[in-house]
Structure 1
Amino acid sequence: MYPDYPFTSRFVSLSGHRLHYIDEGRGPVVVLVHGNPTWSYYFRKVISLLMATHRVIAVDHIGCGLSDKPQNYPYTLGQHMDNLQGLLDHLRVDRYSLIGHDWGGAIGMGCAGRQPQRIDRMVMMNTAAFRSTRIPLRIRVCRWPIVGPLIVRGLNGFARAALFMAAEKRLPRDVARAYLAPYDSWRNRVAVYQFVRDIPLQPGDRSYQTLVEVERGLDALRDRQVPLMLAWGGKDFCFDEVFFREWCQRFPRAERHFFADGGHYILEDKFNEIAPLLARFFSEGATSGSTVG
């Protein structure tokens, strides 16, 4: 049904809701954590790349992808972190590496920071796991009462706009359809809207204190010298070069790859360049290096 996504769908019940995930391959575990408004489909090529040598687990957050989409649910950063941890506990995963994109960075790093001794390696792509007041007007508008729900849930404006604004390369029609498929109605777009609402910008926002805790966890991961690779698209309208530099400052030993002509959906724009970097990073270990181009 979805191009380049031939994987077996699996489900776990968390607090009465079915969470969908992919679990392919055998070997050291790599956990893939998506953001908004994508789903595990975003990582389809990474799964195919790594499953020959690793056990690859890709989650669909509750409300996203092929997971259940309850209407009255605490769609918060902390809840998504708890769900990810619940999945890993269900699968009895003790040690793992992590790849995070967009919201997946904060969610994944939030889990990692709670138990940094369980983390082998990390890859962050166009994401943040620390506080910032930077938010594009086009996203801020989607947080406004009345207007936000109409745009995001009624017109599917957030997910549709991302197809054109988040990738520098034009997505094939069937790929674009696959990204939108789980979000085909007002009800099914509940998490897309709630993710936007949940962006913590100032004290008092519902997930602000959780993000503070995630930020503190970064220090523990840095102090343990957990290898980190950054793969970044320079034309990201949201997580721009300022965020990339912040990661570099917080993790001065990080391996850095900055693709000046790549967009927010960096795996759509630059997968052919990133694939050998990931294969080497997870098979041979992290080494100092950089890519700019």
Structure 2
Amino acid sequence: MIPAGLDFDGSFPYAPHFSNAPGFRMHYVDEGPRDGEVVLCLHGEPTWGYLFRHLIGTLRGRYRVVVPDHMGFGKSETPQDRSYWLQDHIDNLERLVLELDLRGITLVMHDFGGPAGMGLAARHPDRIRRVVSVNGPTPFGQSGLREILVANAQAAPWFQWILKAAGDGSLEQVLGQLGYNILSTLKLNGFENHAVISDAWLQAYGLPFATPAECLGAIGWARGFADGAHSFETPDAAAVQAIRARPALGIWGMADRTLQAEHFLPQFSGLFPAAEVHRLEGAGHYCFEDAPERVSELISGFLDRTS
């Protein structure tokens, strides 16, 4: 767990907030006017709220930007007696949202933040105002999810490695050293903007995983995929109808080697057929790092047009 006040040479100058509502010490950023429209940013594997630092700075003048760190990531606690499956992250997120009583939420979702956010939407469609997917899957009671996951995994080096490592017993050993191999892990998933790498940047992404005990979040997400332990939330018919009617924006870094556009953009467009979709050439899985100005511009413009 990162010390609460650490700002990584001023690159993450946002006051820390903490909630115990999910049953552990959960960190979140809460920037912007209290009465502003809520933008809820949800990270995935193996990142944390630092991924959204540019977007927070762009939006906080007009919007209330809330950015939680999932259990076992970033400045949040890594409890040793909890499981780290998707359904656990949805439960934790729901408890935070209810404690803060967030409404009129624009979801901004990356990586497994996608299914976590869509799980929240399934449970509380009335709290969701817009949906933004940035290299984040949007499963929402659609058929063919298993086929999508299998087809993507066959072509994605990250998922190929997970299955191999789970089979030969090396998954926990390798990901238990994530603080030391964080750059190679990011690169395997699809990280292109090498110019952004600095000592502070490497510390920001590596420090959450300083010891094997602090790597349970990253291990859990990978192990859950290998073991089929992640449960995707199934919305009822009313939730599907409500969420399909929400304004939506899709942004995809086309150099993503882990969640490949050919598999997941049709899923997004199937749920939101009228949504804008922007394909960013040269940007990879972590397009908040690869193209931060462009991604922030697209999201800010979308919020303005749909206010």
Q: What TM-score does the superposition give when structure 1 sets the normalisation length?
A: 0.88
Residue 192 of structure 1 corresponds to 218
| Partner of residue 4, structure 2 | none
Structure 1, 46-55 or 88-97: larger mean CA deviation: 88-97
**Structure with the higher fraction of residues in strand conformation:** 1
Is residue 169–residue 269 contact of structure 1 (8 Å, CA) maintained in 2? yes
Unpaired stretches in structure 2, ≥5 consecutive residues: 1-6, 140-144
CA distance in 1, matches of 2:252, 2:80: 34
1:161 aligns with 2:184: yes
Any idea what the Cα deviations from partners look like across 1:111-141, whole Å, max 9, x if unmatched? 0122212211111011213322232312323
**What is the DSSP-based 3-state SS (H/G/I as helix, E as strand, rest coil) of the residue aligned with 2:251?**
strand
Does the Cα contact within 8 Å between 1:109 and 1:218 map onto a contact in 2? no
**1:157, distance to aligned residue in structure 2 (A):** 6.9
Q: Spell out the pairing of 1:217-236 with structure 2 (5 A cutoff).
A: 219-223=240-244, 225-236=245-256
Indicate the larger mover: 52-61 or 84-93.
84-93
The residue number in structure 2 matching 1:86 is 95
Does residue 99 (structure 1) correspond to residue 108 (structure 2)? The answer is yes
CA distance in 2, matches of 1:216, 1:167: 38
CA distance in 1, matches of 2:212, 2:126: 41
CA contact (8 A) 1:262 1:270 kept: yes
- Unaligned residue ranges in structure 1 (runs of 5+): 287-293
Q: Does 1:52 align with 2:61?
A: yes
Q: Corresponding residue for 1:291?
A: none
Q: Deviations over 1:50-99 (max 9, x none)?
A: 10000000000111111111112021111111111111111121321110
With 67-76 and 130-139 compared, the bigger mean Cα shift is at: 130-139
- Structure with greater helix percent: 2
1:144 corresponds to 2:164: no
RMSD: 2.2
Cα deviation code 1:195-249 (max 9, x no counterpart): 1112278xxx322xx31516989833443x1011011000111111221232123
CA distance in 2, matches of 1:226, 1:183: 37
Tell me the SS of whatever aligns to 2:297. Answer: helix
What residue number does 1:265 align with? 286
Query: Aligned in 2, Cα 1:119/1:272: closer, same or farther, shift over 3 Å?
Result: same
The alignment status of 1:41 with 2:50, answered yes or no, reads: yes
Count of matched residue positions in the alignment of Structure 1 and Structure 2: 280
In 2 relative to 1, CA 260–15 (structure 1 residues): closer, same or farther, beyond 3 Å? closer
2:252 aligned partner, one-letter code: W
TM-score (norm 2): 0.84
Cross-structure match for 1:20 = 27
Q: Which amino acid aligns with 2:26?
A: L
